[in-house]
Amino acid sequence: MEVVITTFPWEVVLILAPLFGALSCFLWPKSARYLALSTVFVSVLSVVALAIRLITTGSYRHAIGGWRAPLGIELLADGLSLLMLGVTAVVGLAITVYSTGYFPNRQLLRFWPLWLLLLAALNALFLSGDLFNLYVALELTGLAAVALTALSGGRAALISAMRYLFATLLGSMSYLLGVVLIYHSFGSLDIMILAQRVVQSPVVWSAMGLMSAGLALKTALFPLHFWLPPAHASAPAPVSAALSALVVKASFYVLLRLWLEVFPPGQTAMLGELFGALGVAAIFWGGLQALRAGQLKLLIAYSTVMQVGYFFLAFPLAMAAAWCGVLYLLLSHALAKAAMFLAAGNIIYFSGHDRIVDFDRIANQLPMTLAAFALAGVSIMGLPPSGGFVAKWLMVEASLKSGQWWWAFALIIGSLAAAAYVFKVVGHAFTQTTVRGQTNAVPALMEWTALALALTSILLGLVASWPLAWLEIGGMFSCESAR
């Protein structure tokens, strides 16, 4: 058994299973829900097996079809990819289970194949070992995400999907141009090889700029965030959860990999400062807009804009504690934001709207949903005990240790803003309103998945040492040293 787990190419399963699942959902739409569920279960099991393999034998590369680079495609599995795959599997499972309740029997059957395609693309992205594979995976993710956004077919959804499409295409093309320049200068697309070959030069400068701009656009960093709030707010709740929790992380992951392995350290300082400044702007702008939002999903979308700002604060800090902090932030934010959107979905299902001031004693009617939202909010606010708190601690520590205390200041202000808008929602959930409307009973499954995800983000705060230890597989960086 041990031998099977440690030698089987689980990463191939992780990409192929959702692909085949998507095809079968397309061919047999009537049983799409069950096919999707089984596919996602297979993914979760594969991630567990991959984790066991990585922990016992270390990171490794897999050549698809036995063809080595440069013409063949190699998949890379190390600690960072494992953690991203893990969170994708967990959030994916929750969203799939939730969607079986959210999309009643025959509605929106197109959701399932598109959703599984998105999962396949995400898995492929996190397992890619070379720049061009990342490009393909980025495009796939983008197209699947846009299609999911447009799914409900309403006017707002279609328009925001179109805008999203343009943004994602622009981002990918900018990235591709950068890849071209890098390939021309150093003759390889493979990340490991490039890590050794890349040296400072004007061409690398342009490539860095192009790729960073493209990826920042796809991650919705201020001021390139304009497409995100309408898209995430008008998509159906499970889709919004996937977009905010996973898709945004994918392009950031690519940027992180490039920054840590490909971009030459000497040239990154100025770009890092720029990212930091834009991150601070994102925190302020996103926080402000979230406070002003009257609708719950728009509030949560702006919260994503704000949290993306946090992510980019790691670049000017550029030390072990900062990378570990931002990674932990990626994980907890994914779980917490997905939980928030699922909770919002429950509220919309229940009362038909998501106007915050018109919430009618949601605390009494949907206690589990509100608990899910509040617990997820605890992680978003960075209050203990939660994954968000551990992340915030690590990043504040990095900021104070390196003497660049202004980033810590921005983080704290962001947490206060987050507290303000989270409790704005919670406070209104306790009070009643004069206008009563029709209500529908929410299936227990939907409430439980939201709560389970929120609890996971809290749990992440209690078991921090293990994920951070797994990060070290592959030797990218360590969270213990340099403290």
Partner 1 sequence: MTTELLYALVGVGLFSLGLYALFVRANLLRKILAVNVMSSGVFLVLVALARRTGAVAPDPVPHAMVITGIVVAVSATAFALMLMLRIVQETGRAELPDTWSE
Partner 2 sequence: MSASATLPLLILGSSLLPGLVIFFLPESKVRIRTALNLSGALLKLVFVGVMAWGVFNGTTYETRLPLIPDLEFVLHADALSLLFVTLSSVLWLVTTVYAIGYLEESPHRSRFFGFFSLCVTATVGVAMAGNLLTFLLFYELLTLVTYPLIVHRGTEVARLAGLTYLRYTIAGGALLMIGTVWLYTLCGTLEFTYGGFVREFASASTNRETLVVIFVLLTAGLGVKAALVPLHGWLPQAMVAPAPVSALLHAVAVVKAGAFGIVRVIYDVFGIEFAANLGVTLPLAILAAVTIVYASVRALFQDDLKRRLAFSTVSQISYITLGVATVGPIAAIGGIVHLVHQGLMKITLFFCAGNLAETLGIHKISEMDGVAHRMPWTMVAFTLGALGMVGVPPLAGFVSKWYLGIGAMAAGQEWIVAILVGSSVLNAAYFLPIIYTAWFKESKGTWPAEQPRGRAETRWTLLLPPLVTALLALGVGLLASAPFSPLDWAQLIAGREYGR
In Å, what is the CA distance from 129 to each residue of 137, 210, 250, 341? 11, 20, 14, 32
Q: Does residue number 430 form part of the binding site for partner 2 (CB under 8 A)? A: yes
Q: What does 443 bind: partner 1, partner 2, none (CB cut-off 5 to 8 Å by kind)? A: none
**Nearest-approach distance from CB 172 to partner 1, in angstroms:** 8
Q: Does residue number 432 form part of the binding site for partner 2 (CB under 8 A)? A: yes
CB nearer partner 2, residue 41 or residue 393: 393
Q: Is the dihedral of CA 334, 336, 337, 340 positive or negative?
A: positive
**Nearest-approach distance from CB 254 to partner 1, in angstroms:** 16
- Cβ contact 128:15 at 8 Å: no
> What is the total count of residues that contact partner 2 (CB under 8 A)?
38
Q: Does residue number 136 form part of the binding site for partner 1 (CB under 8 A)? A: yes
Q: What does 284 bind: partner 2, partner 1, none (CB cut-off 5 to 8 Å by kind)? A: none
In Å, what is the CA distance from 395 to each residue of 222, 237, 480? 20, 31, 14
Q: Does residue number 199 form part of the binding site for partner 2 (CB under 8 A)? A: no
**Nearest-approach distance from CB 167 to partner 1, in angstroms:** 10
Q: Does residue number 162 form part of the binding site for partner 1 (CB under 8 A)? A: yes
Q: Is the dihedral of CA 210, 211, 214, 216 positive or negative?
A: negative
> What is the total count of residues that contact partner 1 (CB under 8 A)?
33
Give the whole-angstrom CA distance, residue 251 versus residue 394: 23
Report residue 28 as tokens. 């047999």
Asked, as a colleague might, if the bond just before 238 is cis with ω within 30 of 0, I would say no
In Å, what is the CA distance from 426 to each residue of 3, 311, 346, 423, 452? 50, 26, 15, 5, 19
Q: Does residue number 83 form part of the binding site for partner 2 (CB under 8 A)? A: no
Q: Does residue number 364 form part of the binding site for partner 2 (CB under 8 A)? A: yes
Residue 375 CA neighbour count, 13 Å, CB half? 23
Give the whole-angstrom CA distance, residue 161 versus residue 227: 9
Q: Quick one: which H or E segment has residue 144? A: helix 131-149
- Cβ contact 50:85 at 8 Å: yes
Instruction: Out of 335, 390, 410, 460, name the contact with partner 2 by CB under 8 A.
Output: 390
Q: Does residue number 423 form part of the binding site for partner 2 (CB under 8 A)? A: yes
**Nearest-approach distance from CB 168 to partner 1, in angstroms:** 9
CB nearer partner 2, residue 276 or residue 387: 387
Q: Which residues contact 38 (CB under 8 A, 6 or more apart)?
A: 21
Binding site for partner 2 (CB under 8 A): 324, 361, 363-364, 367, 378, 381, 383-385, 389-390, 392-394, 396-397, 400-401, 408, 412, 415-416, 419, 423, 426-428, 430-432, 462, 464-465, 468, 479-480, 483
Binding site for partner 1 (CB under 8 A): 70-71, 132, 136, 139, 143, 146-147, 150, 153-155, 158-159, 161-163, 165-166, 169-170, 173, 176-177, 179-180, 183-184, 189, 226, 229-230, 289
